Amino acid sequence: LNALERQLLLQALEKSQNNRSRAAKALGITRQTLIAKLKKHNLHNLS
């Protein structure tokens, strides 16, 4: 599941051109939750 979540995060960021607010909205989560998940997967430095 972690690999799937990581892939979904990366896809959402790519589609939103690394706009965290738009990526979070597309995933149906808050921006704060998105940031927490990015940190969990060590992706928080991408954008």
What are 11-38's pLDDT values in tens digits?
A: 999 999 999 999 999 999 999 999 999 9
Task: Please state which architecture CATH assigns to domain 2-40.
Answer: Orthogonal Bundle (1.10)
pLDDT of residue 47: 56
Q: Taking the domains of the chain in order of start, what are their residue ranges?
A: 2-40
| DSSP letter (8 states) at residue 29 | S
Rounded to the nearest integer, the mean pLDDT of the chain is 96
Please check the confidence at residue 1 and state whether its pLDDT lies above 60: yes
Question: Taking a C-beta distance cutoff of 8 angstroms, is the pair 27, 8 a contact?
Answer: yes
CA separation, residue 34 to residues 12, 13 (Å): 10, 10
